[in-house]
């Protein structure tokens, strides 16, 4: 039995990415957001734990 998903989608947004991903996942049955990347430390344009784009 193959349990590999048929489609794997990567969404990339300049802003509101997390809300867009949640909307996308809610729109399609058996979909879910599996990862949100956050900065491990401060960097020139942002702070630690900031969601990365």
pLDDT at 26 over 90: yes
Q: How does the average pLDDT of the chain come out, rounded? A: 81
Tell which residue, 37, 49, 41, has the closest CA to residue 13: 37
Q: Which residue has the tokens 């020139």?
A: 44
How far apart (Å, rounded) are the C-alpha atoms in residues 31 and 9? Answer: 10
Tell whether the model's pLDDT for residue 22 goes beyond 80: yes
Q: pTM for the full model?
A: 0.54
Residue with tokens 């990339």: 12
């Amino acid at each position: 039995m193959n349990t590999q998903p048929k489609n794997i989608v990567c969404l990339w947004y300049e802003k509101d990415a997390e809300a867009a991903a949640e909307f996308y996942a809610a729109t399609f049955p058996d979909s879910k957001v599996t990862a949100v990347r956050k900065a491990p430390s401060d960097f020139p344009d942002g702070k630690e734990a900031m969601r990365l784009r």
